Amino acid sequence: MKTRNNRAWFLVLPVIICVAFSAILPLMTVVNYSVQDILSPTQKVFVGTEWFQQVMRDSDLHGALYRQIVFSLSVLAIEIPLGILIALAMPAQGWKASLSLVLVALPLLIPWNVVGTIWQIFGRSDIGLLGYAINWMGIDYNYTGSPVDAWVTVLVMDVWHWTPLVILLAYAGLRSIPDAYYQAARIDGASRWAVFRFIQLPKMRNVLMIAVLLRFMDSFMIYTEPFVLTGGGPGNATTFLSQYLTQKAVGQFDLGPAAAFSLVYFLIILLFCFVLYNWMQRLGAGETK
């Protein structure tokens, strides 16, 4: 009888320890803070779900959540189709393909705070090329004074920064399709749209699912870029959930409500990712029938 050796689990033990210290223990600390009122470093009072009830009644939180959902859905609606279109237009091989990949990946190499600084200067009407060009065309553009201009600027900045990620994922999915599929399509006289609809899009489904989940989670946690660009203003136009949480925890030092809001924030992201994942899985299952 063959005996099973479970000593290989010891190889995974360092990863488990790292995850415990980097994720599980901080999460337990946040849970602990969310049910207590911290009066002093040595005095705490158990309050149960009081902080959760306070957070759910917060009108500023509702506004930040609405802005966050609209922003994340707008990001997905723009970046996913745009990334697919650019990936389809890129060369398949040769030095042009290599050059295209390098140029496309450049925005991903820029740190988040630098991205905000670049667009902060780029959008100014006095020294920025974008702001000057828009005002020169007769459009009154001022992202520091107009909530709509600020929101659109943050959206365009995110599209510029993160669409390359979608492009690279879609391009990798396209390059993994065997040439036999394209040869069969040419023999059948399939149109370009038919090739995309029945060959390329189904074969890219897995990488597109990864792109949607990554972009949604990242856009839902956006903080550095809008903070550097607009500081959350004008007013609360670009104050998203992460910045609202930072104001609670650091600015006001309300650790109890901030911890409760962190857990609600975490659950919201999990819920939306779960819904998106299952929706894309059902779309894929429906296409294969």
CA separation for the pair 289, 202 (Å, rounded): 12
Which tokens go with 140?
């009154």
Could you tell me the pLDDT band of residue 287, with boundaries at 50, 70 and 90? Answer: low
Query: What's the average model confidence in pLDDT over 83-98?
Result: 88
**Per-residue CA distances from 233 to 24, 151, 155, 278 (Å):** 34, 9, 14, 35
In this structure, of 42-51, 78-87, 152-161, 178-187, the range with the lowest mean pLDDT score is 42-51
- The pLDDT score that the predictor gives to residue 154 is 92
- The pLDDT score that the predictor gives to residue 3 is 63
Cα angle 192-171-191, degrees, rounded to a multiple of 5: 5
Q: Which domains does the chain have, with CATH numbers?
A: 59-112+158-288 (1.10.3720.10)
Task: Give the chain's mean pLDDT.
Answer: 84
Omega prior to 91 cis, within 30 of 0: no
Could you tell me the pLDDT band of residue 5, with boundaries at 50, 70 and 90? Answer: low
- The pLDDT score that the predictor gives to residue 166 is 93
Could you tell me the pLDDT band of residue 289, with boundaries at 50, 70 and 90? Answer: low
Give burial (CB, 10 Å; 0-12/13-18/19+) of 259.
buried
Strand partners, 234: none
Could you tell me the pLDDT band of residue 49, with boundaries at 50, 70 and 90? Answer: confident
CA separation for the pair 120, 22 (Å, rounded): 33
pTM (two decimals): 0.82
Higher pLDDT, 103 or 93: 103
Q: Which helix (H) or strand (E) holds 130?
A: helix 129-136
Max mean pLDDT range (69-78, 252-261, 265-274, 279-288): 69-78
- The pLDDT score that the predictor gives to residue 2 is 59
Is residue 77 pLDDT above 90, yes or no? yes
Is residue 254 pLDDT above 70, yes or no? yes
Cβ atoms 91, 100 nearer than 8 A: yes
- The pLDDT score that the predictor gives to residue 282 is 77
Could you tell me the pLDDT band of residue 179, with boundaries at 50, 70 and 90? Answer: confident
Which tokens go with 121?
């200067």
Query: What's the average model confidence in pLDDT over 167-195?
Result: 88
Is residue 178 pLDDT above 80, yes or no? yes
Phi, psi at 43, each rounded to 5°: -125, 120
- At 7 the three-state DSSP class reads coil
Give burial (CB, 10 Å; 0-12/13-18/19+) of 14.
exposed
- At 143 the three-state DSSP class reads coil
